[in-house]
Structure 1
Amino acid sequence: MQVPQYPVHFISGLPRSGSTLLSAILKQNQRFSAGMSSPVASLFNAVLPKMSGASEYAPFFDEGHRHRVLNSLFGAYHHDAIESGKFVFDTNRTWTAKLSLLHELFPRARVICCVREVSWVIDSVEQLIRRNPTHVSEMFQSKSARNVYGRVKDLMDSERGLIGLPWGSLREAWFGEHADKLIFLRYESLVRDPVNVMARLYDFLGEAHFKHDFNNVEFSEDEFDRRLGMPGLHTVKRKVEQRFRSTLLPPDIFMKYADMNFWENDKLNMKKVAVL
């Protein structure tokens, strides 16, 4: 049984770095299907342990079985888009930690990594928190997250932090053997020059150019955001443009994370990763 090769690319990267904005832009193209984080990566995480390792069912699965099950999960979730002939962009921040798996299942797929200066990612999360003072977000699990210093420590935790975990996965992918699958898309570039950045992205994906309307981009997932305790988390402003403001962070925090933008260092780009 041959595993079908679905028309798919993936969107990953850091939070608050433009992945929802990118999906909202891509959705304007009727050939594409895109949205906020999908559950496909979580489904993979739930099923894989049952097919391998110490699971009692592991002996019943060979490599072919595992590939077919995972591929079927993907095809079932995105069934409507695939049946209508659309190219799927599946979004999840964990995909950069699964490049070997994506390479086996979807060898022609690229992974678009949305990135932003880390200090401003932290600032953006803090801005949302202060904008919603009557909500308690589920993204903070530590009891020490009662002020900005505790919250930042929680955010930057390398094992479970909203920013620290995907940042580590990005570095793993950047220096890994499948770095040629990556396209790093800087939030700063996208909002400053969306026309040229999207044209270059289409070129890297091998897709025909499309005239997007960057003055009428809309996307929201209000119910999801409310349940997370972070209203406005996935709301996209109508016009794509660069906005300037001062940081909300104490200067010591802002400066502490100012040098974590490794994709800006040409000397570290040994694999020649595409950076837009």
Structure 2
Amino acid sequence: MQNHAAHFISGLPRSGSTLLSAILKQNPRFSAGMSSPVATLFNAVLPKMSGASEYASFFSEDRRRRVFDSLFKAYHHDELERGKWVFDTNRTWTAKLPLLHQLFPRSKVICCVREVPWVIDSVEMMVRRNPTHVSGIFQGKTSRNVYGRVKDLMDAERGLIGLPWGSLREAWFGEHADKLIVIRYESLVSNPSAIVRQLYERLGEKPFNHDFENVGYQEEEFDRRLGMPDLHTVRRKVEHIGRPTILPPDLFMKYVDMNFWENEKLNTKKVCVL
């Protein structure tokens, strides 16, 4: 099976994955964007080929791998045909490192992270900027306050933040942690040139002169349908913009100890953190 030219972008929401993709796509050798449906396609097909299906006996290990390989190749066909490196983004990739290791043994998974209270704060800011919308990320629930919203966001099985946080932690301590490259949002927006240069070095790529003054990116139709306009809008200039949190102090402090990537004692697998 061909090892396609691919890397993956994952990690926490509101932590720079869309920004990073917007930066990388400036390089004509790369293809990158917001979250793609490839991981969702994998999730949909897997039960049909395994013990959850009556057809499981028709699938050998090689056949399963070929199906996954074909899905990836079909979705990214145009970019791969043009010889581009594909950076496929999805927050669930960190929960699938064993599968990615089998399918793409040379690939890396770039994990964008941010201090968890500020991730929550960023989502809440988006909610308040769009008071006439009910976002799909809350499954249509409307009669709630910030405490109810945060409880949903941090749910370990379905939460917008809780699920990818748990998946990242699984990958961090797992047997394929060497595939991870962790990029702090705070570092990326404060010193994009240095962080991107280090990323290129880790990927074994030739340097490219990125323009961090003209990065802009939008997915207006997707964001509108999700009920969260400007969710994936990236400002043209990459810069750090500080502001006070809009969260109640007790909520903010509740999650300040969840940034495990900052604890060197927990980095037992020597994950690269930029």
Identify unmatched segments of 5+ residues in structure 1: none
Secondary structure of the corresponding residue to residue 185 of structure 1: strand
Distance in 1, matches of 2:29 and 2:192, equals: 19
Identify unmatched segments of 5+ residues in structure 2: none
The aligned residue for residue 198 of structure 2 is 200
Distance in 2, matches of 1:259 and 1:201, equals: 27
Measured against aligned partners, the alpha-carbon deviations of 1:19-69 in whole angstroms (never above 9, x if no partner) come to 000000000000000000000000001111111113111110000000000
Structure 1 residue 218 displacement after superposition: 1.2
Contact in 1 for aligned 2:117/2:252 (Cα 8 Å): yes
Contact in 2 for aligned 1:23/1:34 (Cα 8 Å): yes
The aligned residue for residue 173 of structure 2 is 175
The aligned residue for residue 111 of structure 1 is 109
- Larger deviation, residues 26-35 vs 140-149: 140-149
Secondary structure of the corresponding residue to residue 137 of structure 2: coil
Match of 1:249 among 243, 247, 272: 247
Match of 2:54 among 53, 56, 69: 56
Distance in 2, matches of 1:257 and 1:144, equals: 24
Matched residue type, 2:14: R
Matched residue type, 1:9: H
Match of 1:122 among 100, 120, 123: 120
Distance in 2, matches of 1:56 and 1:141, equals: 32
Distance in 2, matches of 1:83 and 1:142, equals: 40
Contact in 2 for aligned 1:31/1:87 (Cα 8 Å): yes
The aligned residue for residue 43 of structure 1 is 41
Match of 2:211 among 190, 197, 213: 213
The aligned residue for residue 2 of structure 2 is 4
Match of 2:67 among 66, 69, 74: 69
Q: What is the TM-score with the length of structure 2 in the denominator?
A: 0.99
The aligned residue for residue 260 of structure 2 is 262
The aligned residue for residue 136 of structure 1 is 134
Equivalenced residues, count: 274
Identical counterparts, % of pairs = 76
Contact in 1 for aligned 2:134/2:142 (Cα 8 Å): no
Q: What is the TM-score with the length of structure 1 in the denominator?
A: 0.98
The aligned residue for residue 85 of structure 1 is 83
Distance in 1, matches of 2:54 and 2:254, equals: 47
Distance in 1, matches of 2:147 and 2:169, equals: 24
Distance in 1, matches of 2:16 and 2:137, equals: 18
Distance in 2, matches of 1:132 and 1:102, equals: 37
- Larger deviation, residues 133-142 vs 17-26: 133-142
Secondary structure of the corresponding residue to residue 138 of structure 2: coil
Structure 1 residue 141 displacement after superposition: 2.5
Q: What value does the CA root-mean-square deviation take over the aligned residues?
A: 0.9
Secondary structure of the corresponding residue to residue 209 of structure 1: coil
Secondary structure of the corresponding residue to residue 53 of structure 2: coil
Distance in 2, matches of 1:200 and 1:12, equals: 18
Distance in 1, matches of 2:139 and 2:158, equals: 9
The aligned residue for residue 161 of structure 2 is 163
Measured against aligned partners, the alpha-carbon deviations of 1:74-116 in whole angstroms (never above 9, x if no partner) come to 0000000000010000000000000000000000000000000
Contact in 2 for aligned 1:145/1:154 (Cα 8 Å): no
Change over 3 Å in CA distance of 1:155–1:142 after alignment to 2: farther
User: Following TM superposition, where does structure 1 have runs of at least 4 consecutive aligned residues deviating by more than 3 angstroms?
Assistant: 142-145
The aligned residue for residue 32 of structure 1 is 30
Distance in 2, matches of 1:142 and 1:28, equals: 36
Secondary structure of the corresponding residue to residue 260 of structure 1: coil
Matched residue type, 1:155: L
Match of 2:220 among 199, 219, 222: 222
Contact in 2 for aligned 1:12/1:91 (Cα 8 Å): yes
Secondary structure of the corresponding residue to residue 139 of structure 1: helix
Structure 1 residue 145 displacement after superposition: 6.2
Distance in 2, matches of 1:213 and 1:54, equals: 49
